[in-house]
Structure 1
Amino acid sequence: MLARRRMQRVGFLMVLPLLAVLLGLTMYPFGYMVYMSFFRYSLASWEQPQFIGFSNYLDIFRDRTATSSVSFTLLILAVAVPLEMLLGLGVAFLLRDTFGERVFRSVLLIPMMVPAVVAGIAWKMLYNFEFGPVNYFLSLLGIPKISWLGTQFFSRLGVILIDVWQWTPFVFLVLYAGLQSLPRDVVEASFVDGASGFSAFRYIEFPLLRPLLFVVLIIRVIDALKIFDIVYMVTFGGPGSSTHSYSFYIYKVGVSFGWDIGYASALSVLLLLAVSLLVNLLIRMLRLRETLEL
């Protein structure tokens, strides 16, 4: 007993330096961010930080650009994420046990492996009004040229399409692996009993995949709320502020133009709270569904 306690104490002492570094690199910046969110502190001025309480948080609700960035982020969450889930699940189901499965699987994973900077530059050229391939192929169908990056509707649609293109392969990969791991004997038994492929998927495979679907959904929700790279590379928030995502607006306020550390900290704290509440809500929904099924 004494030897076990001594070994545990030695192990804790050996881990303690790494734990201290980890806490210093994570907890201290987080605590300092929360602390600075109650101050007026701009690096563009020579003034000392001034305590203003919850004024930064109240200013968020009066800031039109902040509310616009929230609406655009929620639009991505409401449109892009469901599309990615449906397309990923559909492709995983259709591609399973098909001829050339490995080749198609490798090709489908290419968008996920392309760095965001490269993807952003490529899509910016694809969306070019005069010489972009997208408008060229649309012209072959008799559709006039579209200003993909010049109008609010099409610029938002363009960002959503890029997000779907980039992250549908991730959903496909996870769900494809889940389908491959399902017990085949149960599905084959349903075929013997006269079930069709769709019925077997609906009543057997889909319920078994549901926990994995929730996990993928949670991951994609978190990523969608933090979307930054595509907006930065393709539209830079334009035209105007129509494609400002919430994370991109935090970057503009705190780093790019504003240098307003206090206000950017308040925006970041609200983003963290929103992500935490939404993820906890999804987890509770999953647990509630599991409880009802039991």
Structure 2
Amino acid sequence: MSAVSAAPTRVKRQKQRSPAEIRNDRTGRLFVAPAVIIVTLVGVLPGLFLYGISLFNYDRGTPLSAAKFIGLENYTRLLSGTDTNFWPAVGVTIGFLLSSTLTTVVLGTILALLLDRILIGRGIITTLLLIPLVMAPVMAGLIWRLIFNDLTGALNAFLRPIGLDQAWLGSPPLAFISVLIVETWQWTPFVALIMFAGLRSLDPRPKEAAQLDGANAWQLFRNITFPMIQPIFGLVIALRLIDSVKIFDTAYALTQGGPGQATETLGLMVFHYGLYTSGWIGRASAVAVLLLILVIIISQFVTRHLKKAEGLQG
């Protein structure tokens, strides 16, 4: 007898598929095929073209055959600072990213807490909050551009009698603040409604027990409400961060990136380079790719922290 015995092998039998299952599989593929084709034509192919054309020196209006392959030169020009517009645009984008997320999340959370305490007229207030949310960002920017107008704007009409009228869109710091005001006005209701829905879904028993023990409003929020709503709070921050880094519409409608480069984000830089002023399609594509990388980095960072928060919560 051999000391080593061969282990019995199990033969996996493949399940025979019935004709009905095969037909259902084919039918499902036929239904999915149009969506796959549309996504490929609208998303995948333009994305591949974007990555490819960013490696070429190609100007708008010239034949595609005239594009000259230059490798990573567009990226090195941007990242090395040879193109002096890039890093200021990165700074403006990150500035909008942080300030817009901070203001909308803080004000939206406060508004949600107030809504949770209001018993009369809550439906009307919630409906009114939807007005800026459903408005197109370009339309909101144009309306606020009229409000911020130096001479005929409604804001300066109130401030002029007390000597506080300002050139809101003509001064670099005030132009940045003006865009931030419009972003905050439009997206604070989004945060408020999500946070309000989260507050209404919480179990009221821990809060009621803490109230019986004499906890005040701040203690209730810090020790009971916030820990319970933390996953939703993290989700709101993630959505606002990802959305803020792509800001384009509001800044374009209000200032078109000016004065100077005070409000020129990476999105506006892509527009100016590729379509509006220069026509540098290759260089604009490189900026778009770097913006996409920035969005991916922020998304991964936020997702990782959300998973950690959910693990601690569980």
Paired residue for 2:6? none
* Residue 96 in structure 1 maps to residue 116 in structure 2: yes
Shift of 1:156: 0.8
Deviation at 1:181, TM superposition (A): 1.1
* Cα offset, 1:34, TM superposition: 0.4
TM-score (normalised: structure 2)? 0.88
Q: 2:35 — aligned with what?
A: 18
Matching residue of 2:147 = 126
Larger radius of gyration: 2
- Ranges in structure 1 where 5+ consecutive residues have no aligned partner: none
Q: Residues 226-256 of structure 1, C-alpha deviation per residue, up to 9 Å, x if partnerless?
A: 1111111111111122211110110111111
Q: Give the drift of 1:5.
A: 4.6
Q: Secondary structure of 2:259's match?
A: coil
Residue identity opposite 1:129 in structure 2: D
Q: 1:181 to 1:291 in 2, by over 3 A?
A: closer
Shift of 1:261: 1.4
Do structure 1's residue 55 and structure 2's residue 73 form an aligned pair? yes
TM-score by length of 1: 0.93
TM superposition shift of 1:129 = 1.1
Among 147, 169, 177, the alignment partner of 1:157 is 177
Select 1:243's aligned residue among 263, 288, 299. Answer: 263
The structure whose residues are more often helix, as a share, is 1
For structure 2, list consecutive stretches of 5 or more residues without a partner in the other structure.
Answer: 1-16
1:149 aligns to what SS in structure 2? coil
- Number of residues paired by the alignment? 293
1:35 and 2:36 equivalent?
no
Deviation at 1:176, TM superposition (A): 0.8
Percent of pairs identical after alignment? 33
Q: CA RMSD in A?
A: 1.8
Aligned to 2:138: 117
Q: Give the residue type in structure 1 aligned to 2:134.
A: M
Structure 2 residue 212 is the aligned partner of structure 1 residue 212: no
- Counterpart for residue 263 of structure 1: 283
Partners of 1:140 and 1:100 in 2: CA distance: 35
With a CA cutoff of 8 Å and minimum separation of 6, indicate the structure with the bigger relative contact order: 1
What is residue 177 of structure 1 aligned with on the other side? Answer: 197
Aligned with residue 93 of structure 2, among 73, 87, 94: 73
Q: Could you say what secondary structure the match of 1:273 adopts?
A: helix
Paired with 1:11 and 1:80, the residues of 2 have a C-alpha distance of 43
Residue number in structure 1 paired with 2:248: 228
Q: Which amino acid aligns with 2:21?
A: R
